[in-house]
Amino acid sequence: MEGGESTVSAKELEVAVKAVHLACGLCERVQRRLVSSRGVERGGTSPPIISSKDDDSPVTVADWGVQAIVSWLLSESFGSENVSIVAEEDVEALSESNSRGLLSAVVDAVNECLADAPRFELPKPDKILSDLDVVGAIKRCNATGGPKGRFWVLDPIDGTLGFVRGNQYAVALALMVDGKVVLGVLGCPNYPVNREFLSYHHQYYNTAQHSSTTANGLSEKGCVLYATRGSRKAWMQPLVRGENGFTWKGDARVIRVSSIDDPAMATICEPVEKANSDHTFTAGVADSVGLGNQPLRVYSMVKYAAIARGDAEVFMKFSRSGYKEKIWDHAAGVVIVEEAGGVMTDAGGRPLDFSRGVYLEGLDRGIIACCCPVLHEKIVGAVYASWESSNL
Ligand SMILES: Nc1ncnc2c1ncn2[C@@H]1O[C@H](COP(=O)(O)OS(=O)(=O)O)[C@@H](OP(=O)(O)O)[C@H]1O
Ligand SMILES: [Mg+2]
């Protein structure tokens, strides 16, 4: 391990974790509105919440809102001249002449969210942020990554499809120094804190979604995971919401990957969407190593949380050929899994390379995370053996 713990300042860790807690609150408010009204798209009478990108994937008030608040908080905390951010969203769709309603919904969500910042001992604006302030904060996240320097990597909502469907999603923030991920924070507002509430996702909504608040005022649903490189520890806190006070590191507990190394006992975790990973191929690999359980299919980087917490043993993702993985879809999750004791590589067994810009350039076929070297070796071997006959 390359000593990243000392590379990350205590303040960077604290601000990043608190910003993700706060951002999760914004997401939850928007998701509730989405799920409860559904009449939100263009043309409806309610303020618009969803738009779509050029590739037809959805983008919402929460994607832009989270990007704005994280950008604003990092700049306020460390000085905008010291903060460089690579992030998923741009302001193109927000700046179109017919997007007035969308922009004002983003600005409202941002101001509502930042009003809560003092609860986390985070800075709060002196006055309400204007459209220009909010667009400026989103636009400032225009770094392009690379092998040198210190920059943040943000996916404001990973798994936007899961988010708009009222399902799982994650807020993912990482810090990179000279091409290496040194800090990862993952906010998973719909992921149950306790494993016993976790069911395969189609059953999930009948269980954890409606779970009540516990005696200590913390909901059983929702957690924030974080790890710094080299610490050999990953942590999980229950998500703090509502009027509950936030104590830095309060209720945080160490998480560890599963200790299972017998394939027959292991569970594979993979993307929900077939378009994002070939389920037939991964089923073949799982079968050839004798993985016994039904796959756990979860939207977004919650998959990394599942591996880091020991809810599943193997994560595999094999995109169709030509798709290039982006650093913000993996950076935060990778460091958390590794510090929780897991093994993360591409399908050739090499570490993922975050140092080459916005994409994971040079990625060999797919992504494999395992709780232990024994399973990892078996999976990499099985991928090698079945690759020639795959259509990928
Ligand atoms: N192969 C492929 N093709 C197109 N888009 C892809 C692919 N793999 C991942 N993505 C983008 O990554 C985000 C979520 O992917 P996941 O791998 O978690 O898949 S899934 O949500 O469980 O189906 C999600 O991005 P955001 O939600 O915008 O962050 C997807 O659009
Ligand atoms: Mg993403």
Residue 60 beta carbon below 6 angstroms from any ligand 1 atom: no
The pTM score is: 0.94
Enclosing domain of residue 380: 263-387
Distance in angstroms (rounded) separating the CA atoms of residues 333 and 308: 9
Ligand nearest to the CA of 62: 1
156 and 28 inside one domain: yes
Known catalytic membership, residue 131: no
Predicted pLDDT of residue 54: 82
Question: How, if at all, do strands 268-270 and 296-297 pair?
Answer: parallel
Boundary residue ending a domain (255, 287, 304): 255
User: What per-residue confidence (pLDDT) applies to 211?
Assistant: 47
3-class DSSP state of 92? helix
Q: What is the dihedral of CA 52, 55, 56, 60, to 10 degrees?
A: -30
pLDDT of residue 39: 45
Residue having the nearest C-alpha atom to atom 13 of ligand 1: 159
The tens digit of pLDDT for each residue in 366-380 reads 999 999 999 999 999
Q: Which of 221, 255, 289 is the last residue of a domain?
A: 255
What is the phi/psi pair of residue 85, to 5°?
Answer: -130, 130
**Residue 52: predicted pLDDT:** 85
Residues 75 and 124 in one domain: yes
Alpha carbons 364 and 85: distance in angstroms, whole number: 26
What integer pLDDT is reported at residue 317 of this predicted model? 98
pLDDT of residue 194: 83
Q: Does the residue 392 lie in any domain? A: no
Which ligand sits closest to the CA of 300?
1
Kindly state the average pLDDT of the residues 376-388.
Answer: 94
ipTM: 0.96
Spatial distance between the Cα atoms of 103 and 271, rounded to a whole number of angstroms: 31
Please check whether residues 382 and 296 belong to one and the same domain: yes
Q: Encode pLDDT of 166-179 as tens digits.
A: 999 999 999 999 99
Q: Is the pLDDT of residue 14 over 70?
A: yes
Question: Is the same domain home to 277 and 249?
Answer: no
φ and ψ at residue 165, rounded to 5 degrees: -90, 10
Is 192 domain-assigned? Answer: yes
Alpha helices, H only, the chain: 4-7, 10-37, 61-78, 92-95, 100-114, 131-139, 160-164, 201-207, 279-289, 302-309, 331-339, 373-387
Atom of ligand 1 nearest to the CA of 161: 27
Nearest CA to ligand 1 atom 6: 276
Task: Indicate if 65 and 177 belong to the same structural domain.
Answer: yes
Summarize the confidence of residues 343-361 as an average pLDDT.
98
Residue where a domain terminates, one of 255, 290, 310: 255
Instruction: Say if residue 284 is in the same domain as residue 316.
Output: yes
Q: Pick the residue whose CA is nearest to atom 18 on ligand 1.
A: 300
Q: Measure the CA–CA gap between 343 and 229, rounded to whole angstroms.
A: 14
Angle, helix 61-78 to helix 100-114, in steps of 10 degrees: 50
> What spacing in Å lies between the alpha carbon of 251 and ligand 1's midpoint?
31
- Any residues with CB less than 8 A from the CB of 115 and at least 6 apart, and which? 124
Quickly state the pLDDT bin for 45 (edges 50, 70, 90). Answer: low
**Ligand at shortest distance from the CA of 278:** 1
Q: Establish whether residue 330 lines the binding site of ligand 1, counting it when its CB lies within 6 angstroms of any ligand atom.
A: no
> pLDDT of 140-168, one tens digit each?
999 999 999 999 999 999 999 999 999 99
In a domain, 279, yes or no: yes
pLDDT in tens, 254-268: 999 999 999 999 999
Q: Are residues 150 and 230 in the same domain?
A: yes
Tell me the pLDDT band of 93, cut-offs 50, 70 and 90: confident
How far is ligand 2, taken at its centre, from the CA of residue 273, in Å? 13
Mutate-to-test residue for ligand 1 from 191, 276, 358, highest number of ligand atoms within 8 A of CB: 276
Tell me, what's the pLDDT at 210?
A: 45
Does the residue 274 lie in any domain? yes
Q: Are residues 334 and 317 in the same domain?
A: yes
CA of 141 relative to ligand 2 center, distance in Å = 15
Say how many Å lie between the CA of residue 47 and the centre of ligand 1. 26
Catalytic hit among 63, 158, 278, 329: 63
Asked if residue 189 is part of any domain, the answer here is yes
Q: Is 76 helix (H, G, I), strand (E, B) or coil?
A: helix
Examine the domain organization and report whether 283 and 229 are in the same domain: no
Same domain, 147 and 247: yes
> Among the atoms of ligand 1, which is closest to the Cα of residue 155?
29
Please report, for the domain that includes residue 114, its CATH number: 3.30.540.10
Q: Please indicate whether residue 126 is annotated as part of the active site.
A: no
pLDDT more than 70, % of the chain? 89
Mean pLDDT computed over 353-378: 97
Instruction: Please report which confidence band the pLDDT of residue 51 belongs to, taking 50, 70 and 90 as the band edges.
Output: confident
Any domain includes 319: yes
Task: Say whether both 88 and 61 belong to one domain.
Answer: yes
Note whether residue 41 is domain-resident.
yes
How many domains, in total, are found in the chain? 2
pLDDT value at 201 more than 80: no
Read off φ and ψ for residue 170, nearest 5 degrees: -145, 150
Mean pLDDT, range 234-259, rounded to an integer: 91
Contacts of 315 (CB under 8 A, 6+ apart): 268, 269, 270, 303, 304, 306, 307, 337, 367, 368, 369, 370
- Which is it for the CA torsion 129, 131, 136, 138, positive or negative? positive
Centre of ligand 1 from the C-alpha of residue 380, in Å: 22
Instruction: State whether 197 and 268 are in the same domain.
Output: no
